[in-house]
């Protein structure tokens, strides 16, 4: 990313000259979201993230939302004794995000060269190329494992890659765009990054990024902290509440004439 911005800086002068020479041909890509925060309150049931901004004319756009790239441990099922499907071993997918949403104005593989996809981490194929599977497996097996990983994530609504849904219209000397991302409740509290890439002739020519913070507030925050930091106390409280509820309902049923 740094290398890219440096490159942009180097290109700035001739580009500026070009803009002056051909008015209306270019505009810097920008990105903004409707709200920088999503607060998880007690009645939270997901949200929508509206992404908008400006970009140049004659470009395709790729909008990506992702979280930090981490290592995810998973269990692999296998047929044991030729009979039963059981967890047979661990596998670690290294350098993958917990969440990855991608929308593009056209199919990623058609608008971007493979090298560019990999360099910017755009699309499932780039994710697969940048990920490391530990312990190592043969390429064919790695491919099916990663395909399974993506399906697993998609079922959990943590990954999606769609074409379309990016509205673009002429605006001044460039164009404005907007896209709405369904934000499901399954996306956990985290710091997310939203990146917009302007693409032309198979290459990324400009980009912009912004952050999205999803966090728990109020009761939700208090409970999570208690569960994580004071597990013993939390456990005892949970037991007392359950006992009180059980015995309380028992007494109510007795006096309420439920039993004779």
Partner 1 sequence: MLHIYLPVAHSSINILLPIGLGLLVGMMSGLFGVGGGFLMTPLLMMVGIPPTVAAATDSNQIVGASSSGSYAHWRLGNIDFRMGLYLLCGSFVGGLLGVQLIKFLREMGNADFVIKVTYILMLGIVGTYMFIESLMALRKGNKEEEKQEEPQGDSRMAKIVQSLPLQTRFEKSGVTQSAIVPIILGAFIGVLAAVMGVGGGFLMVPVMVYLLKMPMRVVVGTSLFLILFTCIEVTFLQAYTNHTVDFMLAVLLLAGSTIGAQTGTLLGKRLKGDQLKILLAIIVLIVTVKIVLDLTMTPDILLTTAGGE
Tokens of 210: 């912004």
38 to 77: interface string for partner 1, x by CB under 8 A: --xxxxxxx--------------------------xxxxx
Q: Does 228 bind partner 1 (CB under 8 A)?
A: yes
| Nearest distance in Å: CB 144, partner 1 | 8
Task: Give CA angle at 123 (122, 125), nearest 5°.
Answer: 115
**Cα 100 from chain centroid (whole Å):** 3
| Nearest distance in Å: CB 101, partner 1 | 17
Cis bond before residue 21 (omega within 30° of 0): no
Q: Does 100 bind partner 1 (CB under 8 A)?
A: no
Q: Does 17 bind partner 1 (CB under 8 A)?
A: no
What is the distance between the alpha carbons of residues 191 and 63, in angstroms, rounded to a whole number?
A: 17
Helix segments in the chain, DSSP class H:
2-21, 108-111, 114-120, 124-130, 139-155, 219-229, 231-255
| Nearest distance in Å: CB 124, partner 1 | 16
Cβ nearer to partner 1, comparing 61 with 214:
214
Q: Does 141 bind partner 1 (CB under 8 A)?
A: no
Which residues, 6+ apart, have CB-to-CB distance to 230 below 8 Å? Answer: none
The residues of the shown chain that bind partner 1, judged by CB under 8 A, are 40-46, 73-78, 80-81, 83-87, 90-91, 145, 148-149, 151-152, 155-156, 185-186, 188-189, 216, 219-221, 223-224, 227-228, 231-232, 234-239, 241-243, 245-251, 253-254, 258-259
């Amino acid at each position: 990313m740094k290398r890219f911005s440096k490159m942009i800086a180097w290109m700035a002068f001739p580009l500026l000259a070009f803009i002056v020479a051909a008015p209306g041909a270019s505009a810097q890509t920008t990105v903004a979201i409707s709200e920088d925060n999503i607060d998880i309150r007690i009645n939270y049931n997901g949200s929508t993230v509206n992404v908008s901004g400006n970009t140049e004319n004659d470009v395709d756009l790729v909008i990506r939302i992702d979280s930090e790239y981490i290592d995810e441990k998973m269990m692999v099922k296998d047929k044991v004794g030729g009979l039963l499907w059981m967890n047979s071993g661990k596998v670690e997918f290294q350098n993958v995000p917990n969440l990855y949403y991608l929308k593009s104005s056209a199919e990623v593989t058609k608008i971007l060269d493979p090298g560019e996809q990999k360099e910017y981490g755009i699309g499932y194929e780039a994710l697969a190329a940048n990920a490391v599977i530990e312990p190592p497996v043969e390429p064919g097996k790695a491919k099916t494992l990663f395909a399974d990983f993506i399906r697993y994530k998609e079922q959990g609504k943590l990954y999606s890659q769609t074409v379309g849904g990016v509205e673009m219209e002429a605006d001044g000397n460039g164009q404005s765009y907007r896209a709405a991302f369904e934000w499901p409740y399954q996306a956990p509290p985290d710091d997310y990054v939203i990146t917009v890439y302007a693409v032309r002739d198979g290459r990324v020519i400009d980009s912009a990024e912004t952050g999205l913070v999803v966090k728990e507030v109020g009761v939700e925050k208090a409970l999570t902290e208690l569960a994580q930091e004071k597990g013993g106390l939390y456990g005892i409280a949970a037991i007392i509440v359950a006992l009180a509820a059980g015995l309380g309902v028992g007494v109510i049923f007795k006096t309420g004439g439920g039993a004779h």
